[in-house]
Amino acid sequence: MKISTGRLLLGLGALVWLTGCAQMEPPMPPSLEVPKAPSDLRAARKGDKVTLTWTIPARTTDRQRVRYLGKTRVCRSVDATKLDPALKQCDGPIAEVAPPADFAATNKSSSAKKLTASFIDNLPSAVELGNPTGFATYAVEVLNAAGRAAGVSNLARVPLVPVLPPVNGFAARATGQGVLISWECPAGSSRRSGVKYLFRIYRHLESSASATRIAEIDATDCAAGLGATKNPNSFLDQTVEWEKTYFYRGTGVSAVEAAGKQAVQVEGDDTADVKVSAHDVFPPAVPSGLQAVFSGPGQEAFIDLIWSPVTDVDLDGYDVYRHEEGSAAAVKVNAAPVKIPAFRDSQIISGKTYFYSVSAVDLRGNESARSEEASESVP
């Protein structure tokens, strides 16, 4: 049987079309727009506030870019010692966080930077007092615009140990030895069994917002209401640099220790910052133990002076003063500060009695009061 050329070409064309159809991929199902669950939830407690932070999902469960984001549910569960295994869904949220207003615009590009969200939970006092050795476990559940979610995030927890109330009377002032910091015990505080209380002091320069912990002091007696009977509520910061301005703040810390485990610590609320200008207007200590001894026969006559050294770290030296018997006006006899606690006076005259006193001078020119006088007669 003969087949016309036209029919042959038509059949071949149909075969090619069918072959091409067989290679086409099936159509993709529509995205459910369900955001992935966050996996980096973090919880940090300060006083009665717990700050939660997490990364807002940028992709859906089917790897598409999230276009429409709904609210985020925040859940909290109280457990005795470890993460609550029952917190697998957020049935009773304590709060709902709205999505950022600019999320859709920001998340348009695949190279868009990650967005973070946060929420502050104010712990009810009943939760803390009812579970002093337990933990609060948190999870978040991100919804799409239709209220659907892929599940809860990772779990994060904080200890529920009660913290000390803010201390009163926190003060700081410059002294000749450094900055003296003082505070009062919290009114009505009471120590809980198994809890150790500390008091931390932080400091930062006026030119910097980064604070450094400079002291951690046992405040257990203070928490028990014993006040200064066993725990002097003061600290001397001797690491300051003169002519700089500092800010100080303090905070109470509750620590629960368990055998073989690292102690769980929770900081309370901070005191207000106290500003201190470490301007050195403080003179060194007054020299003491001054003695005067004459030496003369067989040699040039002189009077040797010796005294106990002053131990101030910024000491520059000493000034020596002298006046004669019958004259009250003392005159400095050294041209430059004497670097050692000794001086030899050879400008003396036979038959006279001399009275000496010594002062200490620091690197900024602050001079101490003069020592008690010592006298010596020249034969």
Which of 256-260, 312-316, 320-324 is predicted with the least confidence, judged by mean pLDDT?
Answer: 256-260
What φ, ψ does residue 5 adopt, rounded to 5°? -60, -35
What φ, ψ does residue 219 adopt, rounded to 5°? -120, 25
134: tokens are 């337990």
| pLDDT, position 264 | 82
Look at the block and give the residue holding tokens 């919804």: 143
Helices (H), the chain: 5-23, 103-106, 125-130, 220-223
The residue among 298 and 349 whose pLDDT is bigger is 349
The side-by-side arrangement of strands in the sheet containing 156-159 is: 95-97, 69-79, 135-144, 156-159
Q: Kindly indicate the confidence band of residue 76, based on its pLDDT and cuts at 50, 70 and 90.
A: very high
| pLDDT, position 1 | 46
User: Residue 4, class by beta-carbon neighbours within 10 Å (0-12 exposed, 13-18 middle, 19+ buried)?
Assistant: exposed
The domain made up of 168-278 is a member of CATH 1.20.20.10? no
Beta bridge partners of 198: 218, 253
State how far the alpha carbon of 272 is from the alpha carbons of 16, 48, 153, 204, in Å. Answer: 82, 17, 36, 13
Residue 213 has pLDDT above 90, yes or no: yes
pLDDT, tens digit, 9 for 90 and up, residues 114-145: 889 999 999 988 888 788 878 899 999 999 98
* Average pLDDT of the chain to the nearest whole number: 84
Give the containing element (helix H, strand E) for 48.
none
pLDDT, tens digit, 9 for 90 and up, residues 4-62: 555 544 454 544 444 444 455 555 455 578 999 999 999 999 999 999 999 999 889 98
Q: Kindly indicate the confidence band of residue 289, based on its pLDDT and cuts at 50, 70 and 90.
A: very high
Residue 72 has pLDDT above 90, yes or no: yes
The residue among 257 and 374 whose pLDDT is bigger is 374
User: Residue 82, class by beta-carbon neighbours within 10 Å (0-12 exposed, 13-18 middle, 19+ buried)?
Assistant: exposed
Q: Kindly indicate the confidence band of residue 227, based on its pLDDT and cuts at 50, 70 and 90.
A: low
Mean pLDDT of the region 181-203: 80
Which of 8-17, 99-108, 161-170 is predicted with the least confidence, judged by mean pLDDT?
Answer: 8-17
Q: What does CATH list as the number for 288-377? A: 2.60.40.10
Q: Return all residues near 331 (Cβ < 8 A) that are at least 6 apart.
A: 321, 322, 323
Residue 366 has pLDDT above 90, yes or no: yes
Calpha distance 270→180 (Å, rounded): 18
| pLDDT, position 9 | 46
Calpha distance 68→73 (Å, rounded): 16
Mean pLDDT of the region 295-318: 90
| pLDDT, position 328 | 78
CATH match for 42-159 among 2.40.70.10, 2.60.40.10, 2.60.120.380, 3.20.20.210 = 2.60.40.10
What are the residue ranges of CATH 2.60.40.10 in the chain? 42-159, 168-278, 288-377
| pLDDT, position 260 | 55
pLDDT, tens digit, 9 for 90 and up, residues 270-285: 999 999 999 999 999 9
| pLDDT, position 50 | 97
**DSSP 3-state assignment of 364?**
coil
| pLDDT, position 105 | 63
Calpha distance 140→76 (Å, rounded): 9
Residue 286 has pLDDT above 50, yes or no: yes
| pLDDT, position 207 | 92
Calpha distance 220→257 (Å, rounded): 14
| Whether 150 contacts 61, CB under 8 Å | yes
**Residue among 204, 205, 207, 230 nearest 217 (CA):** 230
Mean pLDDT of the region 206-217: 94
Mean pLDDT of the region 170-199: 83
**Residue among 344, 348, 342, 340 nearest 379 (CA):** 348
**Residue among 116, 160, 171, 167 nearest 138 (CA):** 160
Q: What angle do CA 66, 67, 72 make, to 5 degrees?
A: 65
Q: Which of 3-17, 169-183, 222-236 has the highest mean predicted lDDT (pLDDT)?
A: 169-183
User: Residue 282, class by beta-carbon neighbours within 10 Å (0-12 exposed, 13-18 middle, 19+ buried)?
Assistant: middle
Which of 5-14, 176-185, 192-201 is predicted with the least confidence, judged by mean pLDDT?
Answer: 5-14
